[in-house]
Structure 1
Amino acid sequence: MKRTVGLLALVTMMVFVLSACGGNNNKTDASPSASVASEETASESPSASNVSATEVAEPELKPEDGAKLKIWVDKTERTFIDSVLPDFKTKFGVDVTIEEVNIPNQAEKLETDGPAKLAADVLMLPHDKLSKLVVANLLLPNDLFEEETKASSLETAITASSYDGILYGYPETIETFGLFYNKALVKEVPKTWDEVIAFAKTFNDPANKKYTIAWLHNLYFNSMFIRPYGGYIFGKDGTDGSDIGLNNDGAVEGMKYYQSLFDIAPIKTTDLTYDIQSELFTSGKLAMTIDGPWSIGAYKGKVDFGIAPLPDLPGGKKSLSLAGVRSFYVNSYTEYPIAAKMLANFLVSKESALKDFELANIIPANKEANEDPRIKNDPILSGIVEQFKNSTPTPSIPEMNNVWGPTDAAFASIWNGKEDVKATLDKTVQSIKDLNSSVAK
């Protein structure tokens, strides 16, 4: 027994000495417990066992149990949404109901229906509505799919769908407006406004409701006259709400030219709605209209039309349009935030974007879809894509919400009443400043 104990003691001593002298990389404070912990950590590490990162299964994202969703859909996108929701249900097991709410009304409706928990879980918004809704805590950030969205979307779309450095949107489409023309009536597409005026002398017949051209008289469209001569909405690329350039010399010059066009487009702003404009164009009573890709679906099959860039202004000035980005967003009051985010992300995949293009003629914000030959070579959308090169995003700062009402009133006065342009714009800018001040208080 003594010999056995002595032999064990000797072996133990030799093991201790050998472990102290070798494999310690000259570190003096290694302990047996530390070695055991290191070995356990190494055995759990994928790299230690030569397992690649892709072989490590990440937790699968799943919707909440019992999740059911509602989405607000503009009538122009209804067919697309109807076509993809069954695929979403098959893949994730979530039922989604549709409520038709036109895009211009969704932001305002969310303000009232969100807190009352009556709003849709997912909705679509133009980017200029984002800031107001974020400040009101009505939208959830795009956090679960942030990196995926940034990698797959155009950079301008990501910027437009973010506020204060945080991504909220799931970008669906980029858009601006162009010159729609009836091919049966317009044989040579005008490249300048002078050519439009010349055409009007042979075509206009207001007594029989025949008009050369029409467009909705809001700031979105009328920016094409204000900005080419040096006018602007807000300074610093639309980010400085204290610097308003709607009444500077350039803006006044552009709006005087705008006012002169009433003779070739003699429809008062109060008598022109989107539906009236569409009816005139599809019935052959309106030769040209200034519109956006959202209307292509409504015109297809009713009129043979093309789209061209906007006509140049006098002095060789390009008509500069405002651009928009429409994105899906998730209502902060949703009961199923994970499922809602999954739906929004599903709707902007490359596959969904291409289907949206085919059914609703949108120009996708998805980079891969945007480069697809079906879009790049499209004979109708190419005019919008060309005009997009001469466009900039509509400002999305909170002060933008105070611009629409005063400018609508200004255009009505300038167009319908032939009011003095400079005096009207001065009054308009002061109204915007007053509204900004009252909100700030």
Structure 2
Amino acid sequence: MIKAPKERWTFMLICLALLLVMTACGGNGGGNPPGNTPGDTGPGNGEGPNVEAVGEEEIAPEEGAKLVVWEAKEQLEYMQQLAQAFEAEYGIPVTVEELAGGQQGGRLATDGPSKLAADVLTLPHDQIGQAVKAGLLLPNDLFEEETRASMVEAALEASSYEGVLYGYPKSVETYGLFYNKDLMPEAPKTWDDVIEFAKTYNDPKTNKYAVMWEFVGYYTYPFIGSFGGYIFGDNNTNPEDIGLNKEGAIEGFTFLRSLRDILPMKAGDVTYDVKTQLFQEGKLALNIDGPWSVAAFKDKVNFGVAPLPATPDGQPSLSFSGVKAYYVNSYSRYPIAARMFAHFASSKENQLKNYEMTGAIPAHIEAGEAPELQNDPIMSGFFQQFQQSVPMPSVAEINSVWDPLKAAFISVWDDPNLDVKQTLDQTVRTIQADIDAK
């Protein structure tokens, strides 16, 4: 059983005033969601929230509140225990319904307006823009201050849209540096360390290599972002500003090419299967990959996971990351209770329980720094790298980027005579043409 924290639900006086005004006006249980016009029935039950302030510090759920939460199969047992703990603490019944993570956003769009959707659900960060535009999500307003103070910055950024925080971060994922402890007792700190190791270890004739990663946009992004480059402007939200042929990206691609000596292979030959097999066989010392590959190496390799090597000027290498967060359905009949549940579920204690039961990496700062995670030589490495990560772009135009970007990585790596700037100029033209055609 998850131990429910005994904290009081606090929020700023300004939020209290706002709620009192809403109650006095006979609102719709949470205000008009984005896209609703004054006079629309909108979300809520039409009776207004039953809000009671105690000492200007407490918030009470609606009278008779009961909630439905959607959860994926792999986290169903955890969520059922969490729901029981929430009901024991607040007296609010919670029904957990199984629904695959990839289906929750679509079901919210179809079932939300008809009030058949769950009150609380989980979404990956690249789906919230569409949901917000459709008026399907309530902002994380009552607990915004606490959320911002307790979660890692990348998770907050990923759970926001146009500067408004909507999510209650749940878990994070990114990739890191798997290292074979029998070949390298300590993980390399910089790319210079990797270069020096490769000079004495590499032996292509026997398939021995220092390091490998896949030459696709996701895994090779560190050679863009770590050098001040970017894909889209305004933190990857402005597709009208494509940055792949600007100074930072050019510098990163140029450095990438300089590593050709430590990985003497064609870029297209470095596949997931190839590097996984070599790492399992003890022939690959360093493997850039994510937590989804841990099971492939357990009981086969004596390995650890560390942050990616720093750049030559000592800057942390920035990886791409994904964030999952709880969100509140704007059509919930019990929007206050739903907010309380989402906040409760994202607490330090419950993120640690999620990690314990499912291996989900916490987004909560203190949870990530807890001894049980820090003493885990695998997950602590991913959490450290996540703090030096950039959420993958969530705008639709990113789909026009992946193939041309992969082609640019491969071309620059395989052809030492290719002009980097001209190659990236052409890459941007290709991306722009595809965006314009859609």
TM-score, normalised via structure 2 length: 0.67
- Going from structure 1 to structure 2, the CA distance change for 1:245 and 1:349 (only over 3 Å counts) comes to same
C-alpha distance in structure 1 between counterparts of 2:105 and 2:365, whole Å = 32
C-alpha distance in structure 1 between counterparts of 2:56 and 2:332, whole Å = 34
Query: Mapping of 1:341-360 within 5 angstroms?
Result: 347-360=345-358
Residue aligning to 2:66: 63
Q: CA deviation at 1:181?
A: 0.3
Identity fraction in percent: 42
CA contact (8 A) 1:218 1:404 kept: yes
- Going from structure 1 to structure 2, the CA distance change for 1:52 and 1:201 (only over 3 Å counts) comes to closer
Counterpart secondary structure, 1:147: coil
Question: In terms of Rg, which structure is larger?
Answer: 1
Matching residue's letter, 2:435: N
Matching residue's letter, 2:429: Q
Q: CA deviation at 1:202?
A: 3.5
Matching residue's letter, 2:422: A
- Going from structure 1 to structure 2, the CA distance change for 1:207 and 1:171 (only over 3 Å counts) comes to same
Residue aligning to 1:184: 182
Selected match of 1:305 from 281, 294, 303: 303
CA offsets 1:261-307 (integer angstroms, 9 cap, x no match): 34433555544454554443334232111234554465444422223
Selected match of 2:318 from 316, 321, 343: 321
C-alpha distance in structure 1 between counterparts of 2:182 and 2:420, whole Å = 36
Matching residue's letter, 1:243: D
Q: CA deviation at 1:225?
A: 1.8
Counterpart secondary structure, 2:143: helix
Is 1:140 the equivalent of 2:136?
A: yes
CA contact (8 A) 1:171 1:325 kept: no
- Going from structure 1 to structure 2, the CA distance change for 1:158 and 1:319 (only over 3 Å counts) comes to closer
CA contact (8 A) 1:228 1:317 kept: no
- Going from structure 1 to structure 2, the CA distance change for 1:308 and 1:371 (only over 3 Å counts) comes to closer
> If each structure's helix is expressed as a fraction of its own residues, which one has the higher value?
1
Counterpart secondary structure, 2:305: strand
CA offsets 1:81-113 (integer angstroms, 9 cap, x no match): 4344345368435243254x6xxxx3xx67877
Is 1:170 the equivalent of 2:171?
A: no
Q: CA deviation at 1:163?
A: 1.1
Matching residue's letter, 2:158: A
CA contact (8 A) 2:172 2:324 kept: no
Query: Mapping of 1:108-123 within 5 angstroms?
Result: none
Matching residue's letter, 2:315: K
For structure 1, list consecutive stretches of 5 or more residues without a partner in the other structure.
Answer: 1-45
- Going from structure 1 to structure 2, the CA distance change for 1:155 and 1:180 (only over 3 Å counts) comes to closer
Residue aligning to 2:404: 406
Q: CA deviation at 1:323?
A: 4.9
Counterpart secondary structure, 2:142: helix
Q: CA deviation at 1:353?
A: 0.4
Query: Mapping of 1:145-156 within 5 angstroms?
Result: 146-148=141-143, 150-152=145-147, 153-154=150-151, 156=153
C-alpha distance in structure 2 between counterparts of 1:55 and 1:341, whole Å = 14
CA offsets 1:200-252 (integer angstroms, 9 cap, x no match): 34433445544321122222332322234443223344444332221124422
Residue aligning to 2:279: 281
C-alpha distance in structure 2 between counterparts of 1:384 and 1:256, whole Å = 27
Selected match of 1:222 from 203, 220, 223: 220
CA contact (8 A) 1:140 1:168 kept: no
Residue aligning to 2:424: 425
Counterpart secondary structure, 2:406: helix
CA contact (8 A) 2:309 2:317 kept: no
Is 1:85 the equivalent of 2:84?
A: no
What is the CA RMSD across the aligned residues, in angstroms? 4.2
C-alpha distance in structure 2 between counterparts of 1:87 and 1:331, whole Å = 17
Q: CA deviation at 1:360?
A: 4.7
C-alpha distance in structure 2 between counterparts of 1:337 and 1:55, whole Å = 17
Counterpart secondary structure, 2:241: strand
For structure 2, list consecutive stretches of 5 or more residues without a partner in the other structure.
Answer: 1-51, 88-92
C-alpha distance in structure 1 between counterparts of 2:123 and 2:204, whole Å = 37
CA contact (8 A) 1:293 1:362 kept: no
CA contact (8 A) 1:203 1:212 kept: yes
Matching residue's letter, 1:62: A
Matching residue's letter, 2:80: L
Q: Larger deviation: 368-377 or 218-227?
A: 368-377
Is 1:211 the equivalent of 2:206?
A: no
Matching residue's letter, 1:221: Y
Q: CA deviation at 1:313?
A: 3.4
C-alpha distance in structure 1 between counterparts of 2:270 and 2:358, whole Å = 24
- Going from structure 1 to structure 2, the CA distance change for 1:357 and 1:275 (only over 3 Å counts) comes to farther
Q: CA deviation at 1:197?
A: 2.8
CA contact (8 A) 2:170 2:326 kept: no
Give the count of matched residue pairs.
372
Matching residue's letter, 1:88: A
CA offsets 1:378-401 (integer angstroms, 9 cap, x no match): 544454455455444444445444
Matching residue's letter, 1:286: L
TM-score, normalised via structure 1 length: 0.67
Q: Larger deviation: 421-430 or 317-326?
A: 317-326
CA offsets 1:412-441 (integer angstroms, 9 cap, x no match): 3333466543232111111222233344xx
Counterpart secondary structure, 1:158: helix
CA contact (8 A) 2:174 2:382 kept: yes
Residue aligning to 1:256: 254
- Going from structure 1 to structure 2, the CA distance change for 1:218 and 1:82 (only over 3 Å counts) comes to farther
Counterpart secondary structure, 2:346: coil
CA offsets 1:165-191 (integer angstroms, 9 cap, x no match): 444323113454432201012135333
C-alpha distance in structure 2 between counterparts of 1:284 and 1:54, whole Å = 58
CA contact (8 A) 2:144 2:165 kept: no
Residue aligning to 1:32: none
